[in-house]
Amino acid sequence: MSELGKTLHAWRDRVTPAAVGLPVGGVRRAPGLRREELAQLAGLSVDYVVRLEQGRSSAPSIQVLTSLARALRLTDGEREHLFALAGQASPSPGQISTHIPPGVQRMIDQLDGAPVSVHDAAWTIISWNAMWAALLGDVSALRGRQRNIIWRHCTGSNGGLLPNSGRVEQTPEQARRFLVGMVTDLRAAVARYPRDADLHALVADLRAISPAFAEAWDQHLVGFHQSDQKIIHHPELGAIAVDCDILTVPGSDLRLVVYTAAPNSEAAEKLKLLSVLGLQSLT
C-alpha cells in the first residue's frame, strides 16, 4: 500500500457515518466510513477508491483530490498534504478553489431540513444536499459548465436557471436582477483570480454567446443578491413558494443557497413531505 493509500485509509477510518449524515445501521467492521460510503460522498466509483487505497492508481486528478478532501472533511493543512502525496500542485491563490472547510460543511449538514446548494466563486455547483436534489433534481451526472448556474441561465440549458427545465418560475424582473447580480459576482471573481484560465474562458464564451450577458458586462452594471421568493414546480408536489437566501462564506468565496418556507405555510408542509419521502419516490 502506498503512502497515499495508507493516508486515505486512515482518514476514512476517523470519519463516522453520522458525521456526514449517513445511516449507521448494520454490523460495521470499519471504525469509520466504508469504501462504498466514501465513494458515494466523493462521487467516485468504489473500484477507484479501492485502487487508490491499494496503490494501484497513484495519479488522481485535481478534481478527484478536491472531491476526496471534501468528503473526508480535511482541514486546509491536510488538503495540502493530500495533494502533495498525489504529486499534484494544490490550486494556487490565483485560481478558484472548490474546497469546503470542515466547519462550513458541518453547518451545511445541520441544514438538512432545507434544500441547500454550495457554489464556488464562479457559481459552479460543487455540493448539494438530498433535499436540494429532491426539490430541484440530481445534478451528479452533470459535468463542467453544465454545473455552472450563470452558463445555464445565459445559454438556456434545459430551460434556464436550475438543472430541470420548467421547475423554476421567474418574472422578467427577477431574471434581470439575477443576471446583473451574477455578472457582478463574476467580475469580482475575475479580479480576485487573475490566473484562473477556466474563469476567463467562461467570461469570454458567455460574452460571445449571450447578448444579455455581454450587455450587462460591458455596461459595468452592478447588482447585489437579495432575498427573493421563487416558485418551484415540483413534478409530484406541484408549485412550492420558497424564499431563496444566498450566504457568502468569508475568506473562501463560497456561496450557500438556502431555500426555506414560512412556518405553517403550505410550502413548509410540502418541504416536510419532501424531507420524509426524499429521493426514493419523488424523482
The domain that contains 222 carries what CATH number? 3.30.450.180
Q: What amino acid occupies position 159?
A: G
Query: Residues 20, 148: one domain?
Result: no
The reported pTM is 0.71
Quick check: 259 pLDDT over 90?
yes
173 within 8 A of 230, measured Cβ to Cβ = no
Quick check: 41 pLDDT over 70?
yes
Query: Residues 248, 154: one domain?
Result: yes
C-alpha cell at 20: 456526514
The pLDDT, as a whole number, for residue 280 is 57
* In-domain check, residue 38: yes
**Residue 16, domain CATH:** 1.10.260.40
Mean pLDDT calculated for residue range 34-46: 88
* In-domain check, residue 96: no
Quick check: 281 pLDDT over 60?
no
* In-domain check, residue 94: no
Closest C-alpha among 80, 62, 142, 73 to residue 108: 73
9 within 8 A of 34, measured Cβ to Cβ = no
* In-domain check, residue 56: yes
Query: Residues 158, 81: one domain?
Result: no
* In-domain check, residue 91: no
Mean pLDDT calculated for residue range 61-88: 85
- Among 68-72, 116-120, 220-224, which range has the highest average pLDDT? 116-120
Query: Residues 121, 49: one domain?
Result: no
Q: What amino acid occupies position 157?
A: S
What pLDDT band is residue 205 in, cutting at 50, 70 and 90?
A: very high
Mean pLDDT calculated for residue range 209-238: 85
Query: Residues 234, 118: one domain?
Result: yes
Alpha carbon distance 33, 20 (integer Å): 9
Mean per-residue pLDDT of the chain: 83
Query: Residues 250, 168: one domain?
Result: yes
* In-domain check, residue 97: no
Three-state secondary structure call for residue 245: strand
> Pairing state of beta strands 168-169 and 228-234?
antiparallel
Query: Residues 230, 274: one domain?
Result: yes
Report the number of distinct structural domains present in the chain: 2
Alpha carbon distance 187, 46 (integer Å): 39
Q: What whole-number percentage of the chain has pLDDT above 90?
A: 23
Query: Residues 167, 254: one domain?
Result: yes
- Name the domain boundary from 51, 85, 119: 85
* In-domain check, residue 131: yes
State the burial class of residue 172 (Cβ atoms within 10 Å of its Cβ: 0-12, 13-18, 19+): exposed
| Region for 116 from its dihedrals, namely left if φ exceeds 0, alpha if ψ lies in -120 to 50, beta otherwise | beta
**Tens digit of each residue's pLDDT (9 = 90 or more) over 147-189:** 899 998 888 764 344 444 458 887 888 888 888 888 989 998 8
127 within 8 A of 107, measured Cβ to Cβ = no
Query: Residues 77, 120: one domain?
Result: no
Q: How far apart are the first and last CA of the chain?
A: 40
Query: Residues 116, 68: one domain?
Result: no
* In-domain check, residue 29: yes
Ordered strands of the 254-260 beta sheet: 125-128, 116-119, 254-260, 238-249, 228-234, 168-169
Domain range spanning residue 275?
102-282
Query: Residues 53, 137: one domain?
Result: no
The pLDDT, as a whole number, for residue 159 is 39
Query: Residues 250, 149: one domain?
Result: yes
- Name the domain boundary from 85, 120, 147: 85
Mean pLDDT calculated for residue range 199-207: 95
